[in-house]
Structure 1
Amino acid sequence: MALVTTGVVVLDCAEPEKLAEFYKELLGADEAGANANRVEIRAADGFRLALRRDVNATAPSWPRPENSLQAHLEFVVDDLDAAERRIVSLGGRPIESGDPAGPAEERGYADPAGHSFVVRRGTPTAPKQG
């Protein structure tokens, strides 16, 4: 029997209600629970994401080394250009995420609160560099 029966990715941010709207639209998710300091959403495939209020939240600076990447999300898509248009329309922004001469199979973004995430085609096969 597994010790852990489910998992939730939790992102700290200043305004969980606003950030939940971004991820609900991006993932086609529904709100699964909320209180004054946390909003949890669940996508149709069962993926769970919680946004927790942190009044002292500062955005990670990834890919720069100061206050660097603490965690990031990866989403698999079929069409990188369509995904980018949707992300930007929801308030996300592109960020430099790797070697510009490298493969164009993934792109880095920040959500409206500055959390980094990657949108990619397929599953990564190379190890994390650096």
Structure 2
Amino acid sequence: MPLVKAGFVVLDCAEPEKLAVFYTELLEGERTDVTANRIEIRGADGTRLAFRRDMNATPPSWPRPENSLQAHLDFAVEDLDAAERKIVGLGGRPVEAKEAPGPYEERGYADPSGHSFTLRRTVAATPKQG
């Protein structure tokens, strides 16, 4: 048995209740623990996130350099467009770091509290034929 087990990625925010709703819906998950200042969730695929109340939390400014990226989450999806519609419907927003021609293989977003995350198109299990 390992001495240290993987825990949670914890996002500081002023309103953990609202952020927990966003990610619970996005990840089709459930709340696993709730205290006055922290909410933990587990996504349908086992992803574990927590949201900690910090009234002085300042969201990152990425892609602007003033407050840097700090940290971000990556999520794998099969359909970028469908995932984007869901994110926007839940209160998130696209973050355009640069103009890229053609279809994106990954896209950047901010959750309702301003934390950055990326959607990456999943790679097909078998190579294309032809």
Query: What is the TM-score normalised by the length of structure 2?
Result: 0.88
What per-residue deviation string (whole Å, max 9, x for no partner) do you get for residues 31-83 of structure 1?
A: 00011100000113221100000000111001111111111001110101000
Change (3 A) 1:3 1:26: same
Per the alignment, residue 34 of structure 2 pairs with 34
**Structure index of larger Rg:** 2
Per the alignment, residue 43 of structure 1 pairs with 43
Sequence identity, in percent? 70
**Alpha-carbon shift at residue 4 of structure 1 (Å):** 1.8
Aligned length: 123
Task: For 1:89-108, list aligned pairs within 5 A.
Answer: 89-98=89-98, 100-101=100-101, 104-108=104-108
Structure 2 residue 21 is the aligned partner of structure 1 residue 7: no
Letter in 1 for 2:70: Q
**Alpha-carbon shift at residue 99 of structure 1 (Å):** 5.2
Per the alignment, residue 126 of structure 2 pairs with none
Aligned CA-pair RMSD? 1.6
Structure 2 SS opposite 1:73: strand
Change (3 A) 1:101 1:33: same
Q: Which runs of 4+ in 1 moved over 3 A?
A: none
Which runs of 5 or more structure 1 residues have no equivalent in the other structure? 124-130
Which runs of 5 or more structure 2 residues have no equivalent in the other structure? 124-130
Task: For 1:1-130, list aligned pairs within 5 A.
Answer: 1-98=1-98, 100-101=100-101, 104-122=104-122
Inter-partner Cα distance in structure 2 for 1:4 and 1:44:
23
Structure 1 SS opposite 2:46: coil
Query: What is the TM-score normalised by the length of structure 1?
Result: 0.88
